[in-house]
Amino acid sequence: MMTPRTEMVYEALRSVVDPELHLNIVDLGLVYDVAETEPGRVRITMTLTTPGCPVGAAIVAAVRRVLESLPGIEEARVELTFDPPWSVERISPEGRRYLRLV
Amino acid sequence: MMNVDLRSRPGAAVPSLYIQTGLLFLCGACALIVLQAPAVMLMPRHNPATLVLTHLFALGFGTLITFGALFQMIPVILGERLAAEHPARVAYAHFVPGLLLQVMGFATWTPWLIAAGGSLVAAGTLIFTVPYLKPLARKARTDHTALFILASLLYVALTVLLGVALAVQLHTVWSGRLFTWGLPLHMLAGGLGWFTGIIIGVSYKLFPMFTTTQRVPDRNVYRVFLLFQSGLFLALATGALGWRGGLTAGLLLVTASLLLYVLDVRRMLKARLRRRLSPGMQQSALAVLHLVGAALLAGVLVAAGLAGSAGPQAVWQRLGIAAGLWFAFGWIGSMVLGMLSKIVPMLVWLDRYADRAGDPGVPAIADLVDDRALRLGGAAYQAGCIGLLCAVAAGYRPLTLAAAAVLLFGAAYLTATVFQVWHPAPAATPSGHAAAGGAPKTE
């Protein structure tokens, strides 16, 4: 069950686009978890489509920037993980249509 | 938590300088084939035109572009910022003038100039490679790409040092035996140890990344590395001693590694996310087919040579040159150009937009390059390449000239298309931000 705050965070993360696939990171399935650790502080657990992705740093920086511009969020911490690794099954139905996977 | 600090990203100026210069050298090499078509199709030993062509292609195009791409790629692999920008600029200042002197030396057959230019090239190569060796050696224990790159950098150093020894030999004639084993080893170390080794190593990273391949089947990667490196080492060591059996065994091990690599590329491409390949990845996939073709032809020639098959000398010579052209322009050229059409837009995007990722109006990486122009240039390059090696194999000069002209057109068109990526404005209209529902441009 998502709180209004985490819903707002997910919505904001839809503006961060993977520049290679040109699909936002939520529909791409890169965001594993959003948690409000303390009031005003959120922790995003996410992955990249491939380890060592050259645009990974730009995506992570964009996530921080976008979230820290939201009202009521002072700090956004991004934890990058490859466990489990990203897979195509994580792409949303809308994302699959966009990428012409269906 | 992995290191994803934007500050560890190297700037685009140095790789752009290397890549742009490399592309100009490719056009120069192709123009030379058009202008000197009959002469460059003779065997390389003491043939100025062939030696100029080989060095323009291998050092000017292949090595400069690979260095430029590595400058960007190595910090990403290592996850750390390296103080490599100043050495890379100093290396460039040695390498490029050295190469120009070297080719002038070949063209005018001035041995001291070849040696002087070659020494500058070797200095530039060492200045570029040495800062990477220690960090790569640390990372190589856990990262197969770092392992391949490390081995390849050692081979490029060996290749240029052997080249200097050969050039000094031309000037001083200090060792009559050096040419007997030195030239084949110089070619093996450069063609296989440097170019093929590095292409294989980065393929395992770049093919899945640029085609968005799922669950990368890289289980063979260490087997490929072991077979390739042990085979090459055996071939070089026994070749130096003049032991043909060892040389053959080494080359067979290398062939086995190439077979495994080709099968892995096939698996990677089959497991890709999107069916349609971008023009760059089409070129890269074709490069692997060129490798198979060139290796088969070279294998037949080596086997026939070992078996002592008698035949018209001119035919064997033509086939040998065709195999060399196939390997160079087909395998190395297609792979480098294919990967470049993905690497340069990414390089420019990172430099221009990385700090603004997620902002409205930021284009996708694919928007920075004109796909249609890449397809046209790529088709011309492939047609020219295949036409050239067929014409050379058949010994039909008018077709050689026509194919060389098509190859030059393809190379120049691709060069112009890639150069456009550096223009301040994107080549195509940005697709806008995609949540879902639009049409992606690539793959």
Contact status, residue B50 vs residue B43, Cβ threshold 8 Å? yes
Range of weakest confidence among B83-97, B173-187, B236-250, B282-296: B173-187
Residue B213 DSSP one-character state: B
Do residues A15 and A66 touch, judged by C-beta distance below 8 A?
A: yes
Q: What average pLDDT does the segment A7-24 reach?
A: 89
Contacts of B341 in chain A (CB under 8 A): none
Q: pLDDT value at position B433?
A: 43
Cβ contact B365–A54 (<8 Å):
no
Interface test with A, best of B143, B212, B371 (most A CBs within 10 A): B212
Q: How confident is the model at residue B44 (pLDDT cuts 50, 70, 90)?
A: low
Nearest-CB residue to B1 (from A54, A80, A87) = A80
Euclidean distance between CA atoms B188 and B67, whole angstroms: 19
Question: Minimum mean pLDDT among A14-18, B226-230, B287-291: which range?
Answer: A14-18
Give yes or no for residue B403 having a pLDDT over 90. Answer: yes
B133 or B205: whose pLDDT is higher? Answer: B133
CA distance B412 to B404: 12
Q: Which of B77, B346, B354 sits opposite A52 (nearest CB)?
A: B77
pTM of the entire structure? 0.89
- B422 or A50: whose pLDDT is higher? B422
Pick the closest to residue A13 from A82, A90, A69 (CA basis). A69
State yes or no: pLDDT of B392 exceeds 60: yes
Q: Select from A81, A82, A87 the Cβ nearest to the Cβ of B214.
A: A87
Give the minimum alpha-carbon distance from B443 to chain A in angstroms, rounded to a whole number.
Answer: 9
Question: Is residue B131 pLDDT above 50, yes or no?
Answer: yes
CA angle B273, B274, B278 (to 5 degrees): 125
Show the CA angle centred on residue B99, arms to residues B93 and B102, nearest 5°: 135
Q: Which tens digit of pLDDT belongs to each residue from B188-229?
A: 999 999 999 999 999 988 888 888 776 666 678 999 999 999
Measured distance CA(B363)–CA(B353) in Å, rounded = 8
Name which residue leads in pLDDT, B418 or A6.
B418
Q: How confident is the model at residue B438 (pLDDT cuts 50, 70, 90)?
A: very low
Task: Give the model's pLDDT for residue B209.
Answer: 82
Measuring CA to CA, which residue among B367, B381, B371 is closest to residue B329? Answer: B381
Distance, C-alpha B191 to centroid of its chain: 9
Question: Could you please report the per-residue DSSP string of B358-419?
Answer: TSTTPPPGGGGS-HHHHHHHHHHHHHHHHHHHHHHHHT-HHHHHHHHHHHHHHHHHHHHHHH
Are the beta carbons of B437 and A97 separated by less than 8 Å? yes
Report pLDDT for B92: 97
Per the model's pLDDT, the better-predicted residue between B2 and A94 turns out to be: A94
pLDDT score of B307 = 67
**Binning pLDDT at 50, 70 and 90, where does residue B4 land?**
low
The answer to which of B9-23, B120-134, B408-422 has the lowest mean pLDDT is: B9-23
pLDDT for residue B145 is more than 70? yes
Strands (E), B123-267: none
A93: cis peptide before it, omega within 30°? no
| Distance in Å, alpha carbon of A56 to nearest chain B alpha carbon | 6
B433 contact partners, CB below 8 Å, separation of at least 6: A15, A17, A24, B360, B362
